[in-house]
Amino acid sequence: MIAKNRLKKAGLGLLAAAALVAGAYGAQAQDKEIKIGVIYDYTGPLAAGGSKLQALGAKIMIDYFNSQGGVEGYKINAIYADAQSKPDVAINEAVRLIEQENVDMLLGFYSSAQCVPVSAKVDSLKKFMWITTCISPAVLKDRNLQYVFRPQPHGGLFGLLSPEFLAHYSQEKLGIAPKDLKVAIIHEDGAYGSGVAGGNEEGAKKQGFKVVLKEGYSATAPDLSSLVTKLKRARPDVILHTGYNPDITLFLRQSRELGLRFKALIGHGAGYGVPDKLFEAFDKDANHIFNVDPVSIWLVKPDLLKAGLGDITKMVGERYRKEEPDTKEFSAHVGMAASNAYVFFSDVLPRAIKDHGGIDADALRQAALATDIPVGGTLMGYGVKFNPPEHAMAGQNDLASPVVVQYIDNKAHIVWPRELQSLDPVLPLPSSSPYAK
């Protein structure tokens, strides 16, 4: 009897010990997390130009995955930082997050002027960087970065698409042969504007256009009247503009005041990607402006996407509306960051954990290089396949592409490419526009 009691007590002790061990492992599993530094501009001129909307899209997706229990047992611990619309602050915040907050990786970045120096710094520290937004080719071109990846289309593609669109409709809509079409290329003179303008110039030459003016300006310039005067002298049919906000607002206001006339205005992302701001500043005068950007996820037909992605798009819209109830037209910026963040959390991160040993920079890098998402596999419709390390644009998504939209009555309509077109473009500007030539 005594022996049996001893055995019973011993058995209970073993069970208790096993329970403690199991509890410890359970707690350890629950405590697993990936620390992500999320950097956008919450203050300064870039905030209203689209960066805060990009930040909202990323946060919506982070909160969504955490509400689903995280990723492969890892909770997402996001530490948000404000770049304040300043490259030096962005660099300092990136270093602080890595060296003091001990984040496992960085995500975000709206401004190309920040992306270019930050990407080099992060790569030198051997940390992983996932770019949701900034588009300058200079971020990746010929830099041989190992840990920096961008699912977003780059600015050179933005710059090439608008001339392609114009060439198709020049004769039909404007009554001008492409070889006689006069275009002006104006841009903010940072990495973003210069990168897109380079694509504009290349595309214009390819299509045979006459480039009557190509000029950059500071995004913080207090006066753009001299640029408007040069445009009036050059008399372009079409203006290709790349800028942020408020420089876009300043340009359009002074163009109206000084009587600049043209047949079409095509913007390229950033401030042109926030239609609510354009219509708030110019009301109906903002009608018929074109914008080149990754497609808004709310303009992509769900039946063109992988099953279930339409529900994710709906979720993003519902949370967007909850956070910004006064929004009239959903900005492509929110959906852009949400889509690019979704690719990381649904495809790259799970593969790093399951196939490459965890969440360190090398595991994330190997997982990103193995990404192979077909067309229709992202919220924005395009696929994801990153250029390999030996490529001149290593880390760039080779399958990403933008579209051309036109704003009419506060709504964005896809007008190019033809296979995605939801509206025949209105060209030239109607006589009701104060900018009509």
At 47, list the tokens: 């905030």
At 2-25, the pLDDT tens digits run 444 444 444 444 444 444 444 444
Share above pLDDT 70 across residues of the chain, in percent, rounded to a whole number: 93
> Domain 156-293+402-420: what homologous superfamily?
Response regulator (3.40.50.2300)
CA dihedral 66, 67, 68, 69 (to 10 degrees): 50
Looking at mean pLDDT, say which of 48-52, 118-122, 155-159 comes out highest.
Answer: 118-122
In this structure, what token pair is assigned to residue 238? 């079409």
Question: Is pLDDT above 60 for 95?
Answer: yes
What's at 257, amino acid-wise? Answer: E
* Measured distance CA(156)–CA(326) in Å, rounded: 34
The whole-number pLDDT of residue 48 equals 87
pLDDT of 422 = 85
| pLDDT tens by residue, 293-330 | 988 999 888 888 999 999 999 999 999 999 999 988 88
DSSP-H helix ranges across 288-388 = 309-323, 332-343, 349-355, 361-369
Q: Give, in degrees to the nearest 5, the angle at Cα 114 between 111 and 117.
A: 145
Distance of CA 90 to CAs 36, 83, 86, 140, Å? 15, 4, 6, 18
For residue 191, what pLDDT is reported? 86
Task: Kindly report the pTM of this predicted structure.
Answer: 0.80
Backbone angles phi, psi at 174, to 5 degrees: -100, -15
Domain boundaries along the sequence of the chain: 34-153+301-369, 156-293+402-420
Name which of 255, 296, 289 is nearest 426 in CA terms: 289
pLDDT of residue 25: 41
Radius of gyration of the chain (CA): 25
For domain 34-153+301-369, which CATH number applies: 3.30.750.24, 3.40.50.300, 3.40.50.2300, 3.40.50.2000? Answer: 3.40.50.2300
Look at residue 123 and give its three-state secondary structure: helix
Token pair, residue 317, equals 């819209």
pLDDT band at 248; cut points 50, 70, 90: very high
Predicted pLDDT at 8: 46
Q: Are the CB atoms for 282 and 251 separated by under 8 Å? A: no
- Tracing tokens 């496992």 back to the chain, one arrives at 104
